[in-house]
Every structure is written in C-alpha cells, then in structure tokens.
Amino acid sequence: MSVPLCVKDKFTCRVSSTLDRNVSEYGKKYMFDDDNERCWQSDKGKSQSVIITFNEEVEVSLIKIQFQGGFAAEKAHIEAGPDVNNLTFVQDIYPEDVNSLQEFKLDHLVKATVFKIIFEDTTDFFGRIVIYSLNLYS
C-alpha cells in the first residue's frame, strides 16, 4: 500500500507563480489541505512548476494529481535530486484534461530529497494550471 509523503512539517513547497499573487485564495498550501473547494492556481505563462522539498531523503513510486478540467497539463516531466541545484530527469507524464484524481506510476523507485514537476504544455490557452490535490507516495 502506498503511503502519502506530503504530510505536515515533513516538506516544503515552492511554485512558479500564483494567480494575481493572491496566495490567500489560490496559494500552494491548498494542494495539500484535503479540501476539494480550494486549489492552487498558477498565473498565466509557459512551464509552470511545483517543487517539493522533503526534510530527508524519501522513496517515491507514485504521484497523484487532481487538476481542474480545462486547466490541466497535457505534458509534464518530473525531476528529482538531492537539492534544487542538482536535479535530473526522471520521466515524462501525460495527464488527462479531467477533474478526477490521476495516478502516475514512476518507471522505477526514485530516492531523492527534492522533486520538481514541470508542466510544459497545458490545456488552457494562457498556460494556467489549477491543482486541487497533489501528493507523492512511497
């Protein structure tokens, strides 16, 4: 059984942007609060990203993401490493443009402290991403 790794006080998160810099309504914390009424919304632009840094090295085999349909990624890639300056490519993922929670199994178990998901192509004309839920699993 997969164990969620993004739990309180065990990680930090950075994002490429937040819609209108309004973190109180669209902030990154809403991806991890288990509330389907709130979400992170990126601002417009290419290559939006999420960086998750754990307090210690973890093993990840699965990533789950719930987008808002119409604001999903069409293609993304995952990078991982010991720190944000030493990331290597892990694999590409191809989300669907749907509202439901999606699972992305990694091709192999990845041991790292930092994981970066880069959303290269989006279904939104302006390049915005909306995520209601995101977690990495061992």
Q: Indicate whether 6 belongs to any domain.
A: no
Provide the domain count of the chain.
1
- Give pLDDT tens digits for 93-127: 999 999 999 999 999 999 999 999 999 989 999 99
Which residues span the domain enclosing 33? 11-137
Distances (CA, A) of 102 to 18, 52, 62, 98: 22, 18, 10, 9
Asked whether the beta carbons of 89 and 77 are under 8 A apart, the reply is yes
Here the CATH number for the domain that contains residue 38 is 2.60.120.260
Q: Is residue 5 part of a domain?
A: no
pTM: 0.95
pLDDT digits (tens, 9 = 90+) for 67-85: 999 999 999 999 999 999 9
* Residue 120 falls inside a structural domain: yes
